Amino acid sequence: MSVDVAAPPTELDAPDDDVIVSRRHRPLSVARTAWSWIWPKLAAVAIVLGIWQFLVWIEWKPIYVFPAPATVFSELGNLMTTQRFWESVATTLRRAAFGYTAALVIGSILGILVSRIRILRAAVGSLITGLQTMPSIAWFPFAIIVFSGTENAIYFVVVLGAAPSIANGIISGIDHVPPSFVRLGKVMGANNYSLYRHVVLPAALPSYVAGLSQGWAFAWRSLMAGELLVIVLGVTSIGASLDFARQFVHMDQVMAWMIVILVIGMVADSIFTTMSRTLRRRRGLAIDD
């Protein structure tokens, strides 16, 4: 009668010490990464608040013109308890999402066409750059007259502000795709569509994401200018509320709405920054980020 005796564990059966250590310290590394991302922003906020309070203490401007941080944040807290505040934020975010999406579609299609068609690039290539450098606010007199002061005037300027940056981003990315990538794709039998779909556009993605981020910045600035200039009756928004506070010289409300605009812009920028960092890490370009 034979008795099966389990073989003693060997070094191969033992768990890897590096794996155990990495699992044990994973929460600590995540917390450390989060803290390294948060503390510079907290330090910047603290510096700004310190300078702001210092200017109040030395009475740089009268208190009704330049209120203290505590007064402004107290007013911001009061605004956040009202329905009008959330309606204003929702209206502005809806306009931003619609306008930026339209600019994304138009700019992407235009960028791909210009990068592919040589005659089209010669015709409108410099025009796209000219539109990008043109201040968005210069379009509003034209847009207000053409669209009779409706929301379409705002959307028109938002698209004109963002689409050229997105188009230039994808054009620049395609222009900097290594020729060896294209030759390799052709050797492997890719046709024109497959070549752009699986080789050229993925290689151009980093520049495209940079164009998306820049396009958002132009779209957000154009939207804020539009909401200050184009007041749609019966519709509240961040820009309209900001202008309303300005007319009645409620500087605490003016600065509170400015903080809201700044925070939304920073949140959107952090999204694009995360996208860019993730893309670089996947391509081995930002291992230590």
Instruction: Give the total residue count for the chain.
Output: 289
Strands (E), 30-141: none
Residue 124 CA to its chain's centroid (Å): 26
Instruction: Summarize pLDDT for 248-270 with one digit per residue, the tens.
Output: 889 999 999 999 999 998 888 88
Q: With beta carbons less than 8 A apart as the criterion, state whether 235 and 251 touch.
A: no
How confident is residue 221, by pLDDT bands cut at 50, 70 and 90? very high
| Residues 227/231/233/238 CA torsion (nearest 10 deg) | 30
The SS3 assignment for 134 reads: coil
Token pair of 272, please? Answer: 């694009």
pLDDT at position 39 is: 75
Strands (E), 141-285: none
Token pair of 46, please? Answer: 């603290």
Give the N- to C-terminal CA distance of the chain in Å, as an integer: 62
Provide the percentage of residues in the chain whose pLDDT is more than 90: 36
What's the rounded Cα separation, in Å, for the pair 269 and 212? 10
pLDDT at position 30 is: 64
* Residue of 112, 93, 89 whose CA lies nearest to 219: 93
What's the rounded Cα separation, in Å, for the pair 63 and 251? 9
Give Cα separations from 270 to 158, 170, 273 (angstroms): 21, 21, 5
Give me the mean pLDDT over the 75-82 stretch.
93
Q: How many CB atoms lie within 10 A of CB 125?
A: 16
pTM of the model: 0.79
Residue type, 126: S
Poorest-confidence range of 107-111, 211-215, 281-285? Answer: 281-285
What's the rounded Cα separation, in Å, for the pair 49 and 255? 13
| 283: Cβ contacts below 8 Å, ≥ 6 apart | 206
- Degrees to nearest 5, angle at CA 184 with 182 and 186: 70
What's the rounded Cα separation, in Å, for the pair 142 and 139? 6
Block residue for tokens 């409706």: 150
